[in-house]
Amino acid sequence: MRPSVPPIGTVVTVTSYRDLASAIEPTGMVARGGFAVGPDDPVPVLADGRRPATVVIVGNVGGTMWPIFRAEERDEPDPLDAWTRRRLRPIAERFGAEFVHPSDEPFQPFQRWAQRASDVWQSPIGLLVHPTDGLWHALRGAFLFADPVEGLPPTGVATSPCVGCDAPCLTTCPVDAFTADGYDHVSCREYVRSGAEPVCLETGCAARRACPVDADGFYGPDQMRFHMRAFVGW
């Protein structure tokens, strides 16, 4: 049976993760797990001064979100971030949570939160890798709850796909931007702007596409171009 989703205007007092995930689904984004906040977890205080009890992460996987965003996109600065806030903040309010966006200042440790919320790990090129979605996912926000959330998915049930992998992501970049010394973002951006083959501006980061996990789940051409143009500041 599909979980019931409270109507807009209703504030939920006891939150079920399944109901929250169902409310997020029409946006094309997905709930990506959550965690009960511990004493060492870095979280901001809520508007009423309390410390959150639960954090639930929201993200996108593959291209499911993209046509919905494009249909509702407005001519405004940072249209994807603005659309994400418009879509997710009302859902957070409906469930009695506070919404935090990755671009909000002060910046929050979203990668650390995501690793607490679900089985994802830092890949050799820095992006979080998922055991089935590979590198084709992103973090879009977090809901901060003052109270516990029921039915959070378990973690620690999968192994990083990077274990035993030959790491083609480290050898595919045309300018060797990913090294033991870190990420050379200057060389990377200069190459993307150049339009040289492989045309990362059009087809996406060559290193990211080299990941063998969910190799067919990469973003579509329009989604790829949007993100790469934002990356180089165009």
pLDDT at 1 (0 to 100): 47
Q: Are residues 111 and 215 in the same domain?
A: no
Q: Are residues 42 and 132 in the same domain?
A: yes
Q: Are residues 24 and 140 in the same domain?
A: yes
What's the domain range around 72? 15-150
Number of domains in the chain: 2
Quote the pTM value. Answer: 0.92
Domain for residue 159, yes or no?
no
Q: Are residues 34 and 139 in the same domain?
A: yes
Q: Are residues 138 and 50 in the same domain?
A: yes
Domain for residue 3, yes or no?
no
Domain for residue 8, yes or no?
no
Domain for residue 185, yes or no?
yes
Domain for residue 1, yes or no?
no
Q: Are residues 116 and 201 in the same domain?
A: no
DSSP string, the chain: -PPP-PPTTPPPSSEEHHHHHHHHGGGT-EEEEEEE--TT---PPPTTSPPPSEEEEEEEETTSSHHHHHHH--SSSSHHHHHHHHHHHHHHHHTT-EEE-TTSSSP--HHHHHHHHSS-EE-TTSSEEBTTTBT-EEEEEEEEESS-EETPPP-S-S--TTTT---GGGT--TT--EETTEE-HHHHHHHHHHTPSS-HHHH--HHHHT--TTTT-PPPHHHHHHHHHHHHT-
Q: Are residues 37 and 127 in the same domain?
A: yes
Mean pLDDT, contiguous 10-residue spans, the chain (234 residues):
55 79 98 97 97 98 97 97 98 96 97 98 97 98 97 97 96 93 94 95 95 94 96 92
Domain for residue 83, yes or no?
yes
